[in-house]
């Protein structure tokens, strides 16, 4: 009886401590959102959109209408400065997708990404100027080997897991992001795709590498496998600290959606003048494994 009374008293005490917290979510002005990247041996790609209000209902028309057109976008590798050209690609149902990349009419200043190179980005859009810098580091970290083994905890013998062995170079500051491709599909980042070397510095290690995920159609963790007969390509990108910080905070924020117990988080980009997003570089290395049926 005493125990019951203590429990009831505790409940009454806690309920008396409850306090309603109301957030006044006011409409904020739309700001520029930048998704700009450059990879070794590939041209730069810059996508410019406008942010949405918190209460906007996301639909294809809203997404297509968010693209920022007619911006002046220039990129420099320290030697050449090239003005990117806007391209619009038609999609299904009358929608389209817009991005900025190399202008074929100006080949003299065009360049692809190269390792050990710094880049600067300048955007002038709707009367405002935005700047950012990034780098493509050296390919100092790459997988030593890939292999597969049967997936655990399932009776489906067609499911397999991908294993990787790698060696981290001595010295802290080696950051990576990984993607996987199944057969002829798209390269998709892992659910947790970015890593530093704080724990594995200078060591050789092996681990299971989960398949990349389409964050627009995310599958359950326990159903995300590779299969016998797959051709699997791993894309391992060496990245700088700024790129690591952006993607690690972005993935933490994305993973916290809908979790009432998650910590407050801010996605840390590198675009000036209050813009969202990031300009990031990839030093990419590809390795393929063909799994027999």
Q: For residues 232 and 208, give the distance between their C-alpha atoms in angstroms, rounded to a whole number.
A: 14
Task: Say if domain 143-263+282-290 classifies as CATH 1.10.10.
Answer: no
Q: Which of 137, 195, 209, 204 is nearest to 169 (CA)?
A: 204
Cite the residue boundaries of each domain of the chain with CATH code 2.60.40. Answer: 32-136, 143-263+282-290
Count of residues making up the chain? 293
Separation of alpha carbons 280 and 136, rounded Å: 8
**Residue position matching structure tokens 């990576």:** 176
Question: What integer pLDDT is reported at residue 8 of this predicted model?
Answer: 42
Could you confirm whether domain 32-136 is CATH 3.40.50? no
3-state secondary structure of 179: strand
Q: Please enumerate in sequence order all residues whose Cβ is within 8 A of that of 231, keeping only pairs 6 or more positions apart, or say none.
A: 182, 183, 288, 289, 290, 291
pTM of the model: 0.86
- How much is the CA Rg of the chain, to the nearest whole Å? 23
pLDDT tens profile 147-169 = 999 999 899 999 999 999 999 99
Q: Which residue positions in the chain have pLDDT lower than 70?
A: 1-28, 53-59, 61-62, 221-222, 258-264
pLDDT computed for residue 57 by the predictor: 62
Decide if 205 contacts 166 (C-beta within 8 A).
Answer: yes
């Amino acid at each position: 009886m005493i125990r019951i009374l203590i429990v009831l008293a505790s409940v009454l005490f806690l309920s008396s401590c409850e306090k309603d917290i109301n957030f006044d979510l006011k409409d904020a002005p739309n700001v520029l959102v930048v998704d700009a990247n450059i990879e070794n041996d590939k041209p730069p790609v810059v996508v410019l959109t406008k942010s949405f209000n918190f209460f906007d209902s996301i639909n294809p028309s809203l997404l297509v209408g968010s693209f920022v057109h007619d911006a002046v976008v220039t990129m420099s590798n320290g030697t050449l400065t090239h003005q990117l050209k806007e391209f619009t690609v038609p999609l299904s149902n009358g929608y389209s997708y817009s991005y900025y990349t190399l202008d074929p009419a100006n080949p003299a200043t065009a360049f692809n990404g190269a390792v050990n190179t710094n880049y600067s980005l300048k955007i002038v859009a709707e009367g405002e100027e935005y700047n950012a810098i990034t780098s493509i580091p050296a390919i100092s970290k790459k997988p030593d080997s890939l292999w597969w083994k049967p997936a655990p905890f399932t009776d489906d013998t067609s499911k397999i897991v991908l294993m990787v062995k790698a060696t981290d170079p001595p010295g802290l500051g080696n950051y990576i992001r990984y993607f996987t491709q199944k057969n002829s599909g798209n390269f998709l980042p892992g659910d947790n795709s970015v890593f530093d070397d704080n724990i594995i510095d200078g060591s050789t290690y092996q681990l299971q590498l989960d398949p990349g995920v389409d964050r627009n159609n995310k599958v359950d963790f326990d159903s995300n496998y590779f299969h016998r007969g797959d051709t699997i390509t791993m894309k391992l990108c060496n990245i700088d600290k700024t790129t690591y910080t952006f993607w690690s905070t972005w993935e933490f924020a994305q993973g916290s959606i809908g979790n009432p117990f998650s910590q407050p988080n801010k996605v840390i980009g590198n675009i000036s003048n209050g813009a969202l997003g990031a300009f990031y570089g990839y030093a990419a290395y590809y390795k393929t494994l063909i799994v027999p049926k």
